[in-house]
Amino acid sequence: MIQARTTSSDETAALAAAVAELAGAGDLIVLSGDLGAGKTAFAKGFGAALGVSEPITSPTFTLVREYVGRMKLYHLDVYRLEQIEEALDLGLAELLDDDAVTLIEWGDAILPALPPDYLEVRLELGESDDDRVIEVSLIGRAWAARSVVVGRALQRWSSC
Ligand code: ADP
Ligand code: MG
């Protein structure tokens, strides 16, 4: 697990951009943490770094929003029970696409439905209003194999 700290939403966006640089099609990134922790802020920075020009908004009333940058980006939020049910009914495997990178806010709510490999980004409130502690965990063998690359990408914000 890599622990990082940011002190503004711009800094979280920059960290997300660093993750976007190393992300490839087929990758899944699970965003976890309380309301207001910065999951959508991360998604915005991630999308901007992929070259998505339209604004990335919280997918509150749709299960999936699709964006196009240097590759396709799927953005989901499974905060509401209906969204959890829809995601489970649909089957995440159906949704995950070799052509797209997928971000799932509250993805930890549907862990049993997730494939064995994903990057978990857990955002937590820090001491001051704009401080966040961001824990990045590499889940599964395929991500474990990328630990050096991820570690280097996040070194700037790393606190341990
Ligand atoms: P979530 O999607 O986790 O519910 P949002 O990204 O919608 O959270 O909201 C996070 C809020 O916190 C935004 O208003 C953002 O500007 C603010 N914020 C302040 N500091 C930070 C930070 N370091 N990282 C991310 N967001 C921050
Ligand atoms: Mg959100």
Mutate to test the pocket of ligand 1, among 130, 131, 157 (most ligand atoms within 8 A of CB): 130
Segment 47-55 long-range contacts (CB within 8 Å, at least 24 positions apart): 47/20, 47/73, 47/75, 48/13, 48/17, 49/16, 49/17, 49/18, 49/20, 49/21, 50/20, 50/101
**Which pLDDT value is given to residue 160?**
59
Whether residue 23 is contained in a domain is answered as yes
User: Which atom belonging to ligand 1 lies closest to the Cα atom of 31?
Assistant: 3
Question: Domain span at residue 85?
Answer: 2-130+141-157
Check if 36 has its Cβ closer than 6 Å to any atom of ligand 1.
Answer: yes
For each of the chain's 160 residues, which pLDDT tens digit applies? 999 999 999 999 999 999 999 999 999 999 999 999 999 999 999 999 999 999 999 877 788 999 999 999 999 999 988 888 888 887 777 778 789 999 999 999 998 888 999 999 999 999 999 999 999 999 999 999 999 999 999 999 997 5
Tally the domains of the chain.
1
The residues, ordered by sequence, that sit 6+ positions from 129 with a Cβ below 8 Å of its Cβ are none
- Indicate which CATH number applies to the domain containing 9: 3.40.50.300
Whether residue 135 is contained in a domain is answered as no
Whether residue 136 is contained in a domain is answered as no
Whether residue 116 is contained in a domain is answered as yes
125 Cα: distance to centroid of ligand 2 (angstroms): 14
* Global model pTM greater than 0.85: yes
